[in-house]
């Protein structure tokens, strides 16, 4: 192996990570970045690997170094790189949700959405975090703003309906789920939630 070829160490790190040899993988990715500080794939892989083994501070440090370099050499950002970085924040956000650490999860989803502003999934997860911390009004407002930009988003309308229903705003919830069926008449989730309303004592909106 030519020790001056960064890609060789990157591929070695990739193989180690797939085999579960994380310490060796980390060393290989670090060597890659030592040889080529602008090796974006190695930066993303190393940041992700640190997160996988619970070293979140180290993962964040790699992420911010990578972002700073990209800001210097590639103004406007590379969409492919943004997508990869956003996905890592999304995965970390889901991990925080699993342990009911909703504020930290919201923070990660926010960073993901900043990198990919049109990704509705990240916005929906942010709204869920807001609701879990007790701020359902803010979550509802956030989803409504999201739908102003992307009115055809089924995912956002389903979640908005759920939050409206939890606030006893039954007619508003019904309207959102009916909008889903207008977009996708076979949507099972919307059909289920609308059927649930048949058992509600009242469909009057609570002011």
**Rounded to the nearest 5 degrees, what angle is found at the Cα of 39, between the Cα atoms of 81 and 53?**
75
Residue 109: per-residue pLDDT:
94
**pLDDT tens digits in sequence order for the chain, 207 residues long:** 444 578 889 899 989 988 989 999 999 999 998 888 778 788 888 988 888 888 888 888 888 877 776 666 555 556 777 888 899 899 999 999 999 999 999 999 999 998 899 999 999 999 999 999 999 999 999 999 999 999 999 999 999 999 999 999 999 999 999 999 999 999 999 999 999 998 776 544 433
- H or E element, residue 75: none
CB 6 within 8 A of CB 28: no
Give me the residue label for tokens 């939890």.
166
Residue in the block written with tokens 């794939």 = 41
Q: Domains of the chain, with CATH numbers?
A: 135-207 (1.25.40.10)
Maximum CA pair distance of the chain?
74
**Tell me, what's the pLDDT at 77?**
56
Would you state the pLDDT for residue 204?
Answer: 47
Are the C-beta atoms of 46 and 29 separated by less than 8 Å?
A: yes
């Amino acid at each position: 192996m030519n020790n001056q070829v960064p890609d060789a160490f990157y591929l070695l790190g990739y193989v180690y990570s797939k085999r579960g040899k994380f310490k060796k993988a980390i060393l290989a990715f670090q060597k890659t970045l030592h040889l080529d500080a602008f090796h974006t794939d190695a930066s993303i892989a190393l940041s992700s690997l640190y997160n996988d083994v619970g070293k979140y501070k180290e993962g964040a440090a790699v992420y911010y170094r990578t972002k700073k370099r990209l800001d210097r050499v590639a103004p406007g950002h590379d969409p492919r790189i943004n997508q990869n970085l956003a996905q890592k924040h999304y995965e970390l956000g889901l991990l925080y949700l699993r342990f009911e650490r909703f504020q930290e999860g919201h923070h990660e989803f926010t960073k993901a959405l900043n990198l990919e502003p049109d990704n509705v999934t990240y916005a929906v997860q942010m709204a869920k975090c807001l609701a879990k911390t007790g701020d359902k009004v803010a979550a509802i407002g956030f989803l409504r703003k999201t739908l102003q930009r992307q009115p055809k988003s089924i995912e956002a309308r389903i979640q908005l309906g759920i939050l409206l229903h939890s606030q006893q705003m039954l007619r508003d919830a019904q309207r959102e789920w009916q909008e889903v069926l207008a977009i996708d008449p076979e949507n099972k989730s919307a059909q289920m939630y609308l059927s649930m309303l048949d058992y509600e004592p009242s469909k009057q909106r609570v002011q």
